[in-house]
A and B are shown apart, each in its own frame.
Chain A
């Protein structure tokens, strides 16, 4: 009986997932197959690039943007306009991104670039007609909003969990608390304690817990295709760079004598590797920088790659759909199936990458604070 209902539930869930995927792909289709006779500026733009460009679509979906695109109905684009904050030529420009009309218009000389390096970013034309970035662009972009939202979620979740800890002192955990407690204890015992050591781990634990849950939450929200998810936060190299920079700064400032000795004058290495050419010190010093660099790239690449694959599968539907509608529907079954598989894989990756980033950070802290042992 329970077996039967379990199977039923699974089928139901799968059906729901397929429906959601179809619905979303429908949106994409509407976006790129707008051939309404009523032509406005937006559609004019679209007519020029009537052919479905999978690459552009994918890059657009995993890049940051100045407004938060929610959904399209035919030609109606529903998106949340976000504030643009620029500092250029000695003065501040603050306006809403809706002035760009979804990236088709210029406003005050600023427009959203479609060129290689600055693609998707606000630029203006200089005297020579080249696209240049404004001096300072601190706009509240889609990713910034997503970061704020996830930060808010983190604070709400963990402060309320902390409150329930205070309320139910010395009692068994309950609700959200019992869901998060094993993860918190896992981070404490198997990441912090194991990598840094019993004596010094407590100092680094708040940072490790924070980045673990920050990365995990944003990874998961990145998989969810609609608001407030859908922003590719942890797949943005700026975000992962900041996270890695924090790890780098903490590592560098925690480095004890033993740590720096190992870098400058590594014991147990033949002298001719240090004098006259300081080969080992150079390699070790490079290691100091490559470690956080690799942290940054690993998280960025893993999350972005997952998104690209899913978007690729979805795009396949429209590539084939352009050839013939029937082919599109046929391919959609396979594509959606693969997308669902990838979603599960990404869910796994979300946990693994949060774990790996935190574990490696903890290992670096452990290396920086390790006492000399002979």
Chain B
């Protein structure tokens, strides 16, 4: 029975001890421990969130990069297409121009040839005329060596002329 008959002194000392322990631990142990725990939990939480955010950013950055790359490719293709077009046009133009030029040259050449031909013909005519006159002179000279013949010839000539 003495077991359930607590000593009064024990109760008093126990109360005092518990109050002291409670007070001291509350002030010097639980408060700093709880604060430190909470701080650490917060910092871990914060770090995890920051890591998540960084991951998200990385993803976005990658997407951005891909987009940029795609855009660059498109632009390059566009530029290439444009260049090809310009090149084709240039060649086309050049060809056309060359054709026209060639035509012109041919035309000019033709004109010149015609002119040369004409000039040549004129010259030939002149030369032939000169030669003819010379020959005729020579022939006449030969023919008209004697007077008789001269007269005869003039008569023929005159005849012919009158006939014409």
Query: Which residues on A are within 8 Å of B, measured CB to CB?
Result: 59, 62-64, 85, 116-121, 136-141, 143-144, 147-148, 151, 154-155, 158-159, 161-163, 165-166, 169-170, 181, 184-185, 188, 202, 205-207, 209-210, 214, 236-239, 241-243, 246, 304
Contacts and interface: CB of A to CB of B under 8 A. Distances in A.
B75 to A, nearest CB: 49
B8 A63 contact: no
A161 B10 contact: no
B33 A165 contact: yes
Given A62-B3, A121-B2, A185-B37, 20 more contacts: A116-B2, A138-B8, A139-B7, A139-B9, A140-B13, A143-B10, A144-B10, A155-B24, A158-B29, A161-B29, A162-B29, A163-B32, A166-B32, A169-B36, A169-B39, A210-B22, A210-B30, A237-B6, A238-B7, A242-B11
Contacts of A185: 37
Nearest to B11: A238
Contacts, number: 137
A158 B1 CA distance: 37
A47 to B, nearest CB: 24
Given A144-B13, A147-B13, A161-B33, A121 B7 contact: yes
B14 interface: yes
Contacts of B10: 64, 141, 143-144, 236, 238-239
A148 B15 CA distance: 11
B18 to A, nearest CB: 6
A59 B29 contact: no
A209 B30 contact: yes
Interface of B is mostly: helix
B163 interface: no
B5 A206 contact: no
A138 B13 contact: yes
B124 to A, nearest CB: 118
